[in-house]
A and B are shown apart, each in its own frame.
Chain A
């Protein structure tokens, strides 16, 4: 299993969108997440990190395999998510049983 921390903040283009376009965009991206959940991804939660980071939101996901994550990212890209949100992602790899930090 891998973990994926997804941090995001709006780009200037997001603030220029009118409320109708914003709502349509949000629904489009929610459909991407719904497809990922249906494919077997797990969204642990969505959190606000505005007060303690460079970003606004943080999502924590887990996936059984990396191809589920890659498919999720492809859906978001094709839905123009990255044109409206700047992102920074972090991969969590399994810790070997013998590893001592």
Chain B
């Protein structure tokens, strides 16, 4: 079983705002077999990616990686700690098994933005009947198909409830803010958020190069 590893990292100092600082960590995680971007999860193409959230949020960087097994997850996180990640960033880590495969877009766009959705199924969802939930899922699927037609790359879903404060997380890449706004309008229209408490983060896509070990 593979595990998603999401981080929302706030720079502790000016140096930690330089994406080059992330490269040594990317290198060791890659060595441990981790997939380091939505691209790597869907196409296998080597392209480590993080998202610069600093213009939208207090956090500096976020990203979602995928470790192929628990042992490589533990090893990767331990090495990240050893290399001094915590000297650079204050971080929320979210870990969870993959529970939905990626959905490639049906429209080719240049996706320059990352969108991270964290959500909890709320009291209303937990009180809903199986029929209500099935109808809700079908409504949301219509919105997801619309997102895909707008060029959104959906890197799948991870079940983080077991290990964190959030039940689920999902990572998308979209062309721009306007596209994301259109996608969200579609989800609002089908009532997606009636059953969730959600937190959404937006960031500019930054492709990293593997760097020397520190």
CB distance from B12 to the nearest CB of A (A): 14
Which of B78, B120, B121, B163 gathers most chain A CB within 10 Å?
B163
Q: List 14 A-B contacts (CB under 8 A).
A: A11-B126, A11-B127, A12-B127, A13-B127, A66-B70, A67-B70, A82-B126, A88-B165, A90-B164, A91-B95, A94-B74, A98-B82, A99-B81, A101-B86
Q: Is B132 on the interface with A (CB-CB < 8 A)?
A: no
Interface size class of A (residues with CB under 8 A): 20 to 34
Alpha-carbon distance between A67 and B70 when the two chains are bound, in angstroms? 9
User: What is the predominant secondary structure among interface residues of chain B facing chain A?
Assistant: helix
What is the interface size of chain B, counting residues whose CB is below 8 A from a CB of the partner?
A: 19
Q: Is A51 on the interface with B (CB-CB < 8 A)?
A: no
Seen from chain A, the residues whose Cβ lies within 8 Å of a Cβ on chain B are 4, 11-13, 65-67, 69-70, 73, 82-84, 86-91, 93-94, 96, 98-99, 101
Alpha-carbon distance between A16 and B164 when the two chains are bound, in angstroms? 27
CB distance from A90 to the nearest CB of B (A): 7
Contacts of B162 in A (CB 8 A): 69-70, 73, 89
Contact of B97 among A70, A90, A98 (CB under 8 A): A70
CB distance from A22 to the nearest CB of B (A): 16
Alpha-carbon distance between A4 and B126 when the two chains are bound, in angstroms? 23
Contact of B126 among A13, A73, A89, A101 (CB under 8 A): A13
Which of B97, B121, B123 gathers most chain A CB within 10 Å?
B123
